[in-house]
Every structure is written in C-alpha cells, then in structure tokens.
Structure 1
Amino acid sequence: MKKRWVAGLAVSALFAGLLTGCGNSDNGGSGNADANANSNAGTNAGANAGTNKGGNSGQSGEAVNLRLYTYGTEEAYNWKATLGAYEQAHPGVTIELVQLSEKGDTMEATKKLDLAAASSEQIDVLMFSDAASYSQRVALGMAAPLDDFIAKEGYKPEEDYKVDTRLNGKVYALPGKFNPWYVLLNKDHLDEAGLAVPTDWTWDDYADYAKKLTKGEGANKRYGTYFHGPQNGGWMEYLKLKMENQPEGAEFLKPDGTSNLDDPNFRATLELRLRMEKEDQSSVPYADMISQKLAYRNQFFNQSASMLTIGSWMNTEIGGTDKVPLTFHVAVAPFPKNNKEDETGLTPVTTDYVAVSETSKHKQEAYDFVRWYTTEGQIVQGKNIPAWNGVKSEQVAGIIDTILSGTKNPELVDKASLVSTLMNSKASQIIAPTSYQAEVYKAINEEYEKLILGSQDIDQAVANAQKRVDEIIAANKK
C-alpha cells in the first residue's frame, strides 16, 4: 500500500493544477471557498448530537483516538465546538485534529496529506476538497470503501445526501458541506424591467432575461450577464452549462474515459454563449474578460452585469463586504435547465469528501464519526449548508442567517429565494477525473477562444475540440 502512495505522489502533482477550489480568487478556477460565518453557530445542538448517527463509537469501553486530517481552518469549520460536541456524545472517543494548512490552502494540504500517507502516519479520517483529489486518492488505495458500514446501518447514500460520491459503484466518502452553483440577480434591475425572480427556468429564459436587462451603449453599457470563463483551462464550468444540469454526462469525458464531446449539450452550450455575446450582445464580451482581467465580484457588485452564474461560496459575500460593498437588492435563482420538462435543481456542486483511511485500525469508529459529521455534525458546525437531506428548511434558514450576519448589509438579500434555491439543488453523478484532465481542458478552452474571437465557426470548433481530445486520450493510453 505504501508503495502505491509513494508512486502516486508524482501523479498527484499533475492534479495540483486541476485543484481549482479557490472561491476567494476571481481568476483561480472553480470556487470552493469556505463560509466564514459566526463560529458559535449551531453549538446549541451539540448536547444531543450524535445520538442517531454513529452510535457505536466507544461502546466497547476501550478508549479510541481518531486522527482527522483536514485543510479546514478553525475559522471556517468551527472545529473546537464541533469535535467537542462529538466527544461529549461519545465517551471514550477523542478526535485529534491534524491541521494541514493554517490558511486553508487545499493544494498545500493535499501535498502534506500525501507525505503523511507515504510516511505511514496514523490517519483515520481524511477530507478531500474536490472530486479530482478524492477520486485520485481512492485509486491509490488511501480511502476505505464504506459500503459494508452503510449496509449495516441500512440507508441509501443517494437518498440521504444531495451529492452522489460513488466511484466505480462504491462509496469511499460521504459529503459534508454543499456548495451548489446558482444565479445571483440584481433584483433592482429585475424590478425595473418588470421581471420576476425565477424559481424554475431554462437557459432560453436566462438568455431572454439577459436581453431585457441589458441597457445602454459603449463604456457605460450594462450587460444582462457575465460569464467568468473559461480561462487558461480553468473555470470550465462555463463551457458545460447545458451538460451540468443533467443527472449523468455532466463532464467532457465519459466514465470509461472516452470523449463526451459528441453530447449535443456541449454544442448547445457553445451556441448559447455565441448567441448571447454576438447576437443578443447581452453578455460581457469574452475578449474584455481576458484582456481587462475582469473580476466577477466587481462585475456584479458594481452593477456592470445584472446576473452572475457562480458557486454558492458567495453566500459569505452576498450581503456585501468592506472590500466589495452591496448597494442594491440581491435575489437568487436556481441553475437553469435545458428544457421545461427536465428535472429541477441539478447543478455543479462542490463539497467536502470525508473518508475513512484504509490504514485506520479503528474503521468502525472512524466511519461512525464520518457519518455523524456529515449529518448532525453539519448543523452543530453551523458554517455551511449541509449536503445531508435530513436538514430541515428552518435549519438551513438559521445557518443562512448566521452566514449573512457576517456581511455588511444582510437586509438587502432576498433570503427566501436563497434558502429555496439551496434546498432544491442537487449534484449530478461524479465522473472520476483522469490524469490528463488538464490537457483536455486546455484543448477545449483554446478551441472555444478561436470560436468566440471569430477565427473559426461552431462546426469547426466542435470538430477540432473532438479531434484534439481524442488525440489526448489516445496518447495517454500508450
């Protein structure tokens, strides 16, 4: 096992470039910022925490010490109160927190986790910040399968949680926080245009809203929407808009590693982006985003764009901050569907993948903690919206109140639309990333640039992207 980890360290370096979990950076890739809400939220639930989930821990009478390896900071994860609540409810079990990055840097934390595993340190519980880190380390044998524990407890993870964490038919982690993508709306602009806050809409509706919200010309023009990607092979969510709201096939590659670019929804996404920028002129030009290094926060909060499709790590900023103040009313709408009859709520999602170490000598106790932490423990923690379906709407509302209380003007936020959107969001199936994912992203990004900048048409863009991705796949099979 140790040899597999050591050999995997070189591979993990390739994935470092894919770890785009930096929601605090406008140009860093897919967001995965931690909510920075009041650290005392939810601790009142601690007295009774754990009575339903993970009830076997410490029952043998033997003292058990579990080591939890995490990138999560105290500020973002409220560890002292959370772990204290678990220990109080499970006498004989202690949770030793191993902080891998003082600043919550997921890339730094992942490198340290790999080194700890290669050094055979005692690891009982692991946390991964993204699907790439999770799937790669499952392939290296670092995480134990949880299916037997789940069967023993008698529940279905796909029903208990909003995020499907299965890889190759097995569950190796349970999801913690739940950060779905959604649409931020300038409600003042909507009111001005006579538009309602959408609760169930399509991309055609989105494009129609963007046209009606666009106003003015030249340097003072206000655009209906702003898309913050793709950029240098990052922020690729913006080239999968009509793929990501499907239960399966939300990625550029299929589960078997073959290209998924023949999916009509890939072409449809390119058509949507092309139509909104070139025909409707309702989205901020791609050339402006790249040449001016535009920041999505500024585009929305400065009211240069009326709608912003983005991840819900923005919950901690939606009410405005000292750096980026809020001066208008904000509402939230769900990620749009392709067709009216499609399932509502499917959207790109980031989460914490909480796993049991394959080398743990206390797998049952470690699983009990993981199960508790990803259910009642999320309420105790009070920092993020849980991926657990057992959370009630009033509990979500309470967490949102806590998060918004950390912003400058929470009264300007339409909390009802935010809670409703978060409660009804769910993730599509995870497709394990490949070691050459970055090459695939870069190739598709480059072909999109040629399309949007006018050097090739959409037929050429799709064909060239398919050709290049097929070549990348073939080269990596040798």
Structure 2
Amino acid sequence: MMRKSLLMLSAIVLTAASLAGCGSNSGGGGQAAPAAGGKDAGKETPKAPVTIKVQGWYTEAQGNWNATVEAYNKTHPNVKVVYESMSEKGDSQEGMKKLDLLAASGDQMDVVMYSSAPDFAQRVGAGILEPLDDYLKKDGVVVKDEYKIDPVVNGKYYALPGKTIEWLVLLNKDKLDAAKLPVPTEWTWNDYAEYAKKLTQGEGASKTYGSYFHTWKDYALLALNNDVDNPSYVKPDGSPNIDNPKVRFSLELRNKMENADKSSVPYFDVVSQKMNYRDVYYAGKAAMLVTGNWMVGELALNGKFKTAFAPYPKYDAKDPNGYTEVGADFLGIAASSKHKQEAYDFIRWYTTEGILTQGLFFSGWKKADISKNVEAILKAGKPEVTALIDRDSLLNTLKVNKATKLLVPPTYALQQEKEFTNQVELYLTGKQDLNKTIQTAQAKMEDIKKSNSK
C-alpha cells in the first residue's frame, strides 16, 4: 500500500517504482534487528538503547544536529538518536527526494522533516506519515495552544512545527542613515515602496536599489501573505485564491517598483543573472530585503554592515500590526517506523526545548523566551559580526510578530504554485497584462483542482 501511494510523488515515480520492483520481500530490507518476543524473550538481560534516525536535509554546519541529538541522548539513556543528512549541500528539495526514495525502498525511517506546508501535505497524501493524535491526546497536548502554528490536515495531526519561520524586513542601516530615514516599527507596502525610491542610488553597473524581491511565489503575494485568515494562494479545498484584490495589489506594486520606479531589482535581471538574494543584500546592491527570520542566524556569521529590522509591511494602515507570513520545518513520524513512541518523544522534546539547545533557529513553541532565543542564535555567530546586528530593532520586530493562520494546502498545491509563478513571470517581464495573468492563473489552477478531484 505504501509503495502504491508513493507513486503519487511525481518527482520520483520512475525511481520509486523501480525500487519497489527489485527490493527485498523480507519487509525490513535485510538489516533490521530481530523482533522482540523471540526465543530469548524470557531472559532478563539489559535492554540495548533503541536507535532512531532523524532524517532531514540540513548539513552539520547548517543545523548543529550532532550536538543537539547528543544533548537528548544524555538525558534519555534508553534511546540513541542519530541524525542523518539527506543532502550534502543542505538542499531541502534534494533531501525530500531522498526521503521519498527511502520510503519506497523500505529503509529505516523514524523522524522525518519537510520544509514547507505543500511538501508536507503531499507526503501526508502519499501515506508516508503516521498520525500523532493518539500520542498528543495521551500527553494532553493541544497543538494550537502550545505552538504558534497549527499544522492540522483534514482534522488530524501528522507533524509538529520545528524551526518556525516568520517574515520581516532587513535594512542596511548605513544606507538608511544616509537617506535620513528612521527604522520603521509599523508601516504599509506603500510606505515600503516610498522607502525603496529614497534608498535607490546611482545608475548603470554601479546602481544600488532600494529593494530586492526573489523569484519565489511569496514575492508575488506580498499583501496576501499577512492576511490573518486566508494568507495562501490556494484555499484549503484546493480552489485558487488568485483573483483577489490583495494579489492584484501585490503584482501591481512589484511591477511598478521594478519597471516604473526602477527602485527594486528587475525580475528579468534576477532570473537572467541567476541572482541569490543573500549575495545581493551582502554586496549592498539592495538596501532592503523582505525575507524569513532564518537570515538572523546567517547574519550572525556573514554580516558585512549594520543591519536593522522592521516588521512585515501591512496592506492597509488600518490593518493590525505584526502579522506575518509563517512557515516551518514539519517533523513527523514515518508510518514505517518500528519505534514510533520513541520518535514521538524526540519530536516533542525538539519542538519545545530542543531548538533552544540547538541555538540556530527560532522556535515555534509559544513558551519559548524570545530574548533567550535571540541570544542563543547570536552566541553561535562571530562577535565582531554579531555586533553589526541592531538588537533593539530585531527584538522589537520579533515581539510584535504574530503568525497568520497556517493553511496546509491540498496534495496537488505544488502543481498550482508552478502555474501561478509561470504567469507572474510573463507579467513582470511585460509579456502579458495583469488581467490576463490573473485569469489564466486562476483557470489553470482550477483545472488542476478538477483533475485531482476525479
């Protein structure tokens, strides 16, 4: 059943089918430990620690996972947790493809991680993850009360949020001071556009822009991303949420900034020059970068100049301050795991105390101390570099940040996302107008919903 379900994952259909055809029929890949309850079950011998694997895409340098699992092992002698990276380069998409291969081949899987709600939802649909509801009920855990986001799928829980991503704005403080602009504590997207014009300097190869937007769908949904109740490009039932005033506003704003005001790096340049958002900001080519809070830890290691922070801008001045797009690493139990309780226990520890021990990421646990979380992240950096981080504006931003509702989309949402971003590219490069962009994206996304509902 598992292997049949995995054929739903288009990225590995051929590979998974091949593995299913040539794999061992022993059910455990030939390497599993003998099952409990054999002929020696009655003997009173010390139990060896149960080994569980935590599998994700982070490299050791990116995740400090070895020290993190060792901290857990020291206080849980009955378990030996081992971290296993699925990507030499720390690439989440590569890592997820390898996790799919493991699921298809029957290799040991216990704790698995996914980097986005659509990727997570797709694996739930493929039957890779075990429901957590019974474990949570036994522990008396109400997820929406304990965590900033609520990753419920069709009324059930298949994962808890690890590293939680909230969005904010990085600002080059030197350029901000030169333009005599204050660090914003509350602002709109129109304010952001005005800042970008005032921060844009020079012409030609030496030109520096006020803003940079990357190719991801997030940057085509700027004003929708902080809609409190419906911040997604697709509704929970799979209906597209594109023919929406906030989506139209977002695309018009970006087109104006890139092609009329010329205050944000043009989309064509971003794609044709294969720009990396980090490099653009570090090189001082853009004074502002709308991004996720993972960049705080990176700035603690690689910052080149003083960086200040501002909350995610609002659609309308009357909207509540601080609502931000959210995301997370989703940690779940592999349905094939032979040690589900031990896997759950580790997940619960990691998503509460463990992230603070890890010292690199922001926690999605509501009881985590924000100030201590920041200090742990900065402590992992270089003192001469962390001195360039404006802590006051960072803490202010983190304290006003509030998560929008996390909508875990249908399993086919990644197909819809691709169609949407294809149409956005045509619009931003002047090949079609806004109405055609919205109408075509809406129609193609609706077709995908219909084809998956048969």
- With normalisation by structure 1, the TM-score equals 0.79
Once the two structures are superposed, the pairs formed by residues 90-105 of structure 1 within 5 Å of their partners are 90-105=76-91
- Post-superposition offset of 1:247: 2.9
Which gives a bigger RCO, structure 1 or 2 (Cα 8 Å, sep 6+)?
A: 1
1:151 equivalent in alignment to 2:137 = yes
Equivalent residue for 2:372?
Answer: 395
Q: Which moved more, 1:205-214 or 1:215-224?
A: 215-224
Query: Conserved in 2, the CA contact under 8 Å of 1:66 and 1:124?
Result: no
| Equivalent in 55, 65, 69 of residue 70 of structure 1 | 55
What SS does the corresponding residue of 1:374 show, helix, strand or coil?
A: helix
- 1:366 aligns to 2:365 (yes or no): no
User: Helix, strand or coil: the match of 1:211?
Assistant: helix
**What is the alpha-carbon distance in structure 2 between the residues aligned to residue 194 and residue 65 of structure 1?**
60
Relative distance call for 1:306 and 1:98 in structure 2 (3 A) is closer
**Distance verdict in 2 for CA 1:394–1:435, change over 3 Å:** closer
- Is the CA contact (8 Å cut-off) linking 2:12 and 2:100 kept in structure 1? no
Whole-angstrom CA distance in 1 between matches of 2:114 and 2:276? 27
1:373 Cα offset (Å):
1.1
Structure 1 residue corresponding to 2:333, chosen from 347, 356, 363: 356
Q: Which amino acid aligns with 1:65?
A: V
Residues 1:334 and 2:331 aligned together? no
- Counterpart in 1 of 2:25? none
AA in 1 matched with 2:430? G
Q: Is the 8 A contact 1:167 1:430 kept in 2?
A: no
The 1:145–1:426 alpha-carbon spacing in structure 2 relative to 1, beyond 3 Å, is: farther
1:171-205 deviation per Cα after TM superposition (whole angstroms, max 9, x unaligned): 21111112322211011121122221122222122
Root-mean-square deviation over aligned CA pairs: 2.8
Matched with 2:32 is none
Task: Give the C-alpha shift of residue 423 in structure 1.
Answer: 4.5
CA distance in 2, matches of 1:379, 1:316: 13
Paired residues of 1:331 and 1:418 also in contact (CA < 8 A): yes
CA contact (8 A) 1:189 1:306 kept: yes
Contact residue 178 and residue 350 of structure 1 kept, 8 A? yes
Percent identity (aligned): 43
Please say which of residues 306-315 and 361-370 is displaced more in the overlay. Answer: 361-370
Matches of 1:119 and 1:455, distance apart in 2: 45
Mark the runs of 5 or more structure 1 residues left unpaired by the alignment.
17-60, 230-234
Distance 1:256 1:135 in 2: 13
The answer to whether 1:461 aligns with 2:437 is: yes
Q: Which residue of 1 aligns with 2:30?
A: none
Q: Decide whether aligned partners of structure 1 residues 369 and 317 sit closer, same or farther in structure 2, where only a CA change above 3 A counts.
A: closer
Question: What does 1:242-391 align with in structure 2 at a 5 Å threshold?
Answer: 242-319=223-300, 321=302, 326=304, 328-391=305-368
| 1:355–1:452 distance in 2 versus 1, CA, 3 Å | closer
Do the aligned residues in 1 keep the contact of 2:168 with 2:310 (CA within 8 Å)?
Answer: yes
* Letter paired with 1:69: V
- Per the alignment, residue 160 of structure 1 pairs with 146
Contact kept in structure 2, 1:385 and 1:399, CA below 8 Å: no
Three-state SS of the structure 1 residue aligned to 2:166 is strand
* CA distance in 2: counterparts of 1:450 and 1:97, whole angstroms: 42
- The CA deviation at 1:206 is 1.0
Once the two structures are TM-superposed, the CA of residue 269 in structure 1 deviates from its matched residue by 0.9
AA matched with 2:62: A
CA distance in 1, matches of 2:137, 2:411: 32
Cross-structure match for 2:220: 239
Change (3 A) 1:138 1:445: closer
User: TM-score, length-normalised on structure 2?
Assistant: 0.83
Any idea what SS the aligned residue of 1:228 has?
coil
